[in-house]
């Protein structure tokens, strides 16, 4: 039976054409033949010209408003008949809010990486783009209940951004060496799996064929994300697994949702 997954990026995909193309290719390589992954980003113009998406982690106000786009898109995904949503961002934007609004499975990059890594390793090393994002992730892994398993969350030093990574998709030994050097520092601190904690970083590694560093596995975080979304659809269909409505994911009445969406759309239109 066909499966339709709505991929939700936290970036304007029109600005990263190499990344967009590779996402589609990799989703098709990972998912079954009856699964379709449709790529969606945030609105063009959300980030000022020249600002890489990772820079938004400095600004809580910007994050909150961008999260509203993500949540609204996920509501749209369910209404358009999608079977699941995969949020391709390690900030897990709008994840918990979306789960309280829709009945289809919603999965996100950081939480999925933690769950999948726990099946193959005991001590995780997260490597991300810059220190702002690393600081955010240190709090997020604790929020998800994995503080005891994430041995280290580190950033590239010097930092790297999405636009630089987009150029590595054609193949870059310099990029692979730089990543490997950074990963070895995490391995020396006890990590037995490396998690590339950012979507563009992960796809650049996939494109360059990086699956391990000195025998330590490197998680394919995007491949894990779409495969996990696919699995959750199957569990919902075949075992009846549903999001719980008796705790933090309590679902508000439809009229309340409609009113709040109207308010949000007014805010976003200003």
pLDDT digits (tens, 9 = 90+) for 138-193: 999 999 999 999 999 999 998 887 777 877 787 888 999 999 999 999 999 999 99
| Confidence at residue 11, expressed as pLDDT on a 0 to 100 scale | 87
Count the domains in the chain. 1
In this prediction, residue 14 has a pLDDT band, given cuts at 50, 70 and 90, of confident
**Has residue 266 got a pLDDT over 80?**
no
- What mean pLDDT value characterizes the chain? 92
For residue 211, give the CATH number of its domain. 3.40.50.12500
| Confidence at residue 62, expressed as pLDDT on a 0 to 100 scale | 77
| Confidence at residue 65, expressed as pLDDT on a 0 to 100 scale | 82
* Residue 164 covered by a domain: yes
In this prediction, residue 194 has a pLDDT band, given cuts at 50, 70 and 90, of very high
CA angle 124, 195, 180 (to 5 degrees): 105
**Has residue 30 got a pLDDT over 90?**
yes
* Domain region containing 41: 3-234
In this prediction, residue 54 has a pLDDT band, given cuts at 50, 70 and 90, of low
* Residue 258 covered by a domain: no
Q: If you average pLDDT over residues 220-248, what whole number do you get? A: 97
* Residue 157 covered by a domain: yes
Where do we find the tokens 């730089």? 178
* Residue 261 covered by a domain: no
**Has residue 55 got a pLDDT over 80?**
no
pLDDT in tens, 196-209: 999 889 999 999 99
* Residue 73 covered by a domain: yes
Share of the chain above pLDDT 90, in %: 70
Task: Find the range with the poorest average confidence among 27-31, 39-43, 158-162, 246-250.
Answer: 158-162
199-207 vs 17-30: helix crossing angle, rounded to 10? 70
* Residue 220 covered by a domain: yes
In this prediction, residue 120 has a pLDDT band, given cuts at 50, 70 and 90, of very high
| Confidence at residue 268, expressed as pLDDT on a 0 to 100 scale | 66
Share of the chain above pLDDT 70, in %: 96
CA trace torsion 156, 132, 23, 168 (10° rounding): -30
pLDDT in tens, 72-115: 999 999 999 999 999 999 999 999 999 999 999 999 999 999 99
pTM: 0.92
* 218 vs 11: which has the higher pLDDT: 218
* Residue 129 covered by a domain: yes
**Has residue 57 got a pLDDT over 80?**
no
**Has residue 53 got a pLDDT over 80?**
no
* Residue 270 covered by a domain: no
């Amino acid at each position: 039976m066909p499966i339709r997954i709505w991929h939700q990026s936290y970036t304007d995909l029109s600005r990263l054409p190499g990344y967009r193309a590779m996402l589609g290719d990799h989703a098709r390589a990972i998912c079954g033949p009856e699964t379709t992954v449709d790529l969606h980003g945030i609105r063009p113009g959300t980030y000022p010209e020249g600002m890489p998406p990772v820079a938004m982690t400095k600004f809580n106000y910007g994050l909150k408003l961008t999260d509203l786009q993500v949540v609204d898109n996920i509501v749209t995904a369910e209404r358009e008949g999608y079977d699941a949503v995969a949020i391709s961002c390690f900030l897990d934007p709008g994840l918990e809010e979306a789960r309280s609004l829709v009945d289809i499975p919603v999965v996100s990059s950081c939480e999925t990486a933690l769950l999948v890594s726990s099946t193959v390793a005991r001590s995780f090393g997260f490597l991300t783009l810059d220190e702002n994002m690393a600081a955010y992730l240190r709090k997020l892994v604790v929020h998800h209940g994995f503080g005891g398993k994430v041995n280290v969350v580190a950033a590239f030093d010097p930092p790297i951004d999405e636009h630089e990574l987009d150029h590595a998709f054609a193949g870059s030994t310099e990029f692979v060496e730089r990543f490997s050097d950074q990963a070895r520092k995490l391995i020396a601190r006890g990590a037995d799996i490396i998690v590339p904690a950012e979507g563009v970083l992960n796809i650049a590694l996939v494109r360059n064929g990086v699956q391990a560093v000195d025998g330590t596995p490197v998680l394919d975080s995007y491949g894990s994300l779409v495969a996990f979304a696919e699995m959750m659809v199957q569990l919902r269909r075949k075992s009846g697994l549903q999001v719980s409505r008796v705790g933090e994911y309590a679902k508000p009445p439809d009229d309340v949702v409609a009113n709040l969406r109207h308010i949000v759309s007014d805010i976003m239109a200003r």
